[in-house]
Amino acid sequence: MHKGTCLCGQVQYEYTGELGPIAMCHCSQCRRAQGSAYGTNSPIEASHFRIVSGRELVKEFESRPGKKRAFCRECGSPLYSRLDSKPEALRLRIGTLTTPIAAKPSYHIFAGSAAEWYEFSDGLPRYTELEDSPLL
Ligand SMILES: [Zn+2]
Ligand SMILES: [Zn+2]
């Protein structure tokens, strides 16, 4: 089982499914939401994801119509995103995991939106737009 938490520790979650391929997303929304060069996300099955404490602190921000970005309203940690059109899936912000995982990131997405100060150096595939990537 995978477990994770936000920065303040009040939101705790468990995930009993498999992680999908890990993507580093350079879209401008992920960059702002993380305050960093990219978001590191894995698609997961919503039915196997459970908030075990702090549910009342999870706030969802609709960053574009039908897309919700969930974070802890106390400490601001991004937790997952979801699409109204794909209720069976979440995109987990894997930096919030507290249990170790063996998988490594698979690719970069929205590489065309990357910050000009970011240097790609890991040799992983880069997809310019989400539509090009194997994520969909
Ligand atoms: Zn928190
Ligand atoms: Zn993104």
Could you tell me the pLDDT band of residue 128, with boundaries at 50, 70 and 90?
confident
What architecture is the 2-132 domain classified under in CATH? Answer: Beta Complex (2.170)
> pLDDT by residue (tens digit) across 78-116?
999 999 999 999 999 999 999 999 999 999 999 999 999
* Residue 131, pLDDT above cutoff 70: no
* Residue 136, pLDDT above cutoff 60: no
pLDDT of res. 19: 95
* Alpha carbons 3 and 97: distance in angstroms, whole number: 6
> pLDDT by residue (tens digit) across 25-71?
999 999 999 999 999 999 999 999 999 999 999 999 999 999 999 99
Taking 3-state DSSP, the helix, strand and coil percentages for the chain, each rounded to the nearest 5, stand at 15, 40, 45
- Long-range interactions of 94-98: CB distance < 8 A, separation 24+: 94/19, 94/22, 94/40, 94/41, 94/42, 95/40, 96/4, 96/5, 96/6, 96/13, 97/2, 97/3, 97/4, 98/3, 98/4, 98/5
Q: Which ligand is nearest to the CA of 51?
A: 1
**What is the Å distance from ligand 1's center to 69 Cα?**
14
pLDDT of res. 96: 98
Q: Which ligand is nearest to the CA of 23?
A: 2
Least confident interval from 11-15, 93-97, 117-121, 125-129: 125-129
Name residue, tokens 């919503």.
Answer: 46
Q: Which ligand is nearest to the CA of 111?
A: 2
In the chain, where the domains are located: 2-132
Top pLDDT among 4 and 132 is at: 4
